[in-house]
Amino acid sequence: MHGAQLVREDKVGVSLSQILAEDVLELTMVTPSSVELLERVIRWVAPIELRDPAPFLRGGELVLTTGALFDVAIPQVWDGYVNRILHSGATAIGFSASLIHPQIPRALLDACVRYGMPLLSVPNHISFIRVNEFVADLIVADRFKDVRRAGDLAAQLAHAISNGAPPAALLQQIAEEINGAAAILDIDGGVVATWPTDAEWPSVDILQALTTTSSDGYLSVALDQAGAYDHILVAHSLQTDKARLAIASAATLVAIDLNTRLREESSSASRMKDVVDALTDWTTPAATLTRLLRVAGLGADVPTVVILAHPGSTYSPGYSLRLRLAAQLTSPIVRSVRFGELLLLLAQGEADGTEDVLETFLRVMPGRRIVVAGPAHDAEEIRMVFASAQMELSPDQNTPKRARAFHLTSIVAASAGRGGQRASKAFLNPLVDHDERHGTELVATLRAYLRSDGKPIRAAKMLYIHRNTLRYRTEQVSRLLSLDLDTLDALLICELAFRLHDMH
């Protein structure tokens, strides 16, 4: 998995080195030792007097035997016995010499050396029950330690939530506890928040983890608690037992925090709709816009970063929340709303956090159509910056970018009112009426002529018409508008008229 260094799985149990170090058991290893062998984990003790105990083993056992059913004179029998135990996943074999075998059979020792299976000598006076009880007590103690750690994690998360910590901070605590990664996903597999921020979450493994105990270290818990429906808490760790306890303990708290944020999202969107209406209606007085910003929980004279995003086909219920959470990594106050195909966010925090917000989106949401603009310092400037962001958001955009601070559209936005809208409509009406009556394309021709900076050859190519046809059309435009399109003044008037018309 990218973005996280996973630690080797540490199953619940005790290591060979632990039980060998216990004087009360008096166990000794009679096969060659190594650090790797001594780190093997004993999950359970299995006293079994069978020639083939493999069907009764699950892996990780210390198999204890006296060899009561074995003929010491047949080495092949011992070889098959050790081979079957090895392939069952058992950790080690413990042999207790008794009246049947006064000492460990040489054939058993040779087979264990050959297969690399640790062989322990159990003194005759140490009962198998004593070994079993000792290992069980250690495992239970270790299990309670993990439970306590999970409880401590829950307490830490509750404290962090009460102090307003963002979801990324909660996921970081979970990830550090399980030595892996953690994330919140929506029902469509969209990542709402993740730690580390560059971690990847394959949907196939996540879905499989919802129906199985574990899938390649992935664990999933549906966050249906506290009303956070259609969201999943996922984790990736090779310490699956610890991770399972951790996310089970954290799930309810994460769900409560997420549900609170989802309610805030809905409430914020309702109030922000009025703000958007005021931003796009140039006749709304600045005082009214200021009041609506305050109702939405935003300061009207606080540096404000405007974020405009086009989700495209990737839109999901969690997309807006993910945008807001990403912005909150640098700006504590963020309000969002969806209008049409776009998402608008207003973020307030640092004096000039525009670059920080842009860097966050480039890191967390690369490849997305996002424009960051600002900062704006009052209601009127927010309107200007918003207009600039709209113009900068292009269909061929494939990465977050910053809008230009000084843009013709923002200048128009600063002065656009009902009078400007009416004047622009009246100015362009002769072209519109002519197109409707005669089926001409004078409006489209003028737009192309302006986009080509008044260069006839470029405009003709853009319209796929002959240069003479373009000249005839521009002469018609000049006559109907009573303007000389060969002058800079006329081009500027036409451009401003289109900007005002398009804003309306």
The three-class DSSP label of residue 337 is: strand
CATH number for the domain spanning 191: value is 3.30.450
Helix pair 456-463, 442-451: axis angle to 10 deg: 130
12 falls within a domain: no
**Residues 250 and 313 grouped into a single domain:** no
Q: Which residues pair with 181 in a beta bridge?
A: 236
Within a domain: residue 2? no
- Return the closest-CA partner of residue 496 out of 481, 474, 475: 481
Is 11 contained in some domain? Answer: no
For 372, the 3-state DSSP assignment is strand
Tokens representing 330? Answer: 């640098």
The rounded distance, in Å, linking the Cα atoms of 229 and 216 is 25
Boundary of a domain, candidates 125, 154, 185: 125
User: Which bin fits 43, alpha (ψ -120 to 50), beta or left (φ > 0)?
Assistant: alpha
Return the pLDDT at 111: 94
Show the domain range for 80.
26-125
Chain length of the chain:
504
**Count of Cβ atoms closer than 10 Å to residue 455 Cβ:** 12
How much is the pLDDT for 6?
Answer: 41
Strands 369-376 and 401-402, how do they pair?
Answer: parallel
293 and 403 together in one domain? yes
How far is it, in rounded angstroms, from Cα 386 to Cα 279? 8
Q: Distance between CA atoms of 196 and 213, rounded to whole angstroms?
A: 23
* CA atoms in the 13 A half-sphere facing the CB of 108: 24
Is residue 335, in this structure, part of any structural domain at all?
Answer: yes
Q: Which of 274, 269, 279 is nearest to 503 (CA)?
A: 279
CA distance linking residue 388 with residue 386, whole number of Å: 5
375: cis peptide before it, omega within 30°? yes
Residue 15's CB is within 10 A of a number of other CB atoms, namely 17
Is residue 136 in some structural domain?
no
pLDDT at 7: 38
Asked whether residue 345 is assigned to any structural domain, the reply reads yes
User: Cβ contacts of residue 112 below 8 Å, gap of 6+?
Assistant: 31, 82, 93, 118, 119
Backbone angles phi, psi at 12, to 5 degrees: -65, 125
Query: For the chain, how many structural domains are there in total?
Result: 4
Q: What is the distance between the alpha carbons of residues 12 and 41, in angstroms, rounded to a whole number?
A: 8
**Predicted pLDDT of residue 197:** 79
Note whether 396 and 437 are same-domain residues: no
- My answer on whether 152 and 92 are in the same domain is no
Asked if 399 and 289 sit in the same domain, the reply is yes
Same domain, residue pair 296 and 232: no
pLDDT of amino acid 454 = 87
Along the chain (504 residues), what's the average pLDDT of each consecutive run of 10 residues?
A: 42 80 89 88 90 90 90 83 94 88 91 94 90 83 71 85 85 88 79 83 70 68 70 82 81 85 75 87 82 88 89 69 83 85 86 82 86 86 82 84 69 56 78 92 91 89 90 91 85 81 68
Same domain as 165, residue 116: no
Residue 265 maps to a domain: no
Question: The CATH number of the domain where 396 resides is what?
Answer: 3.30.70
pLDDT of residue 8: 41
Q: Please give the Cα distance from 58 to 40 (Å, whole number).
A: 15
Q: Which of 388, 407, 426 marks a domain boundary?
A: 407
Alpha-helix residue ranges (DSSP H) falling in 281-377: 286-295, 319-328, 354-364
**Same-domain pairing of 156 and 241:** yes
DSSP-assigned letters across all residues of 56-97: G--SSEEEEE--TT--TT-HHHHHHHHHHHHHTT--EEEEE-
* 276: in domain: no
233 and 351 in a single domain? The answer is no
For position 38, which CATH number holds? 3.40.1390.20
- What pLDDT score was predicted for residue 213? 56
Residues 212/261, Cβ–Cβ less than 8 Å: no
Same domain, 359 and 450: no
Name the residue with tokens 């009406």.
429
Global pTM exceeds 0.75? no
Amino acid at 134: F
| Shared-domain flag, residues 398 and 425 | no
Q: Identify whether residues 309 and 398 lie together within a single domain.
A: yes
**354, 376, 407 - which closes a domain:** 407
User: Is the distance from CB of 20 to CB of 138 less than 8 angstroms?
Assistant: no
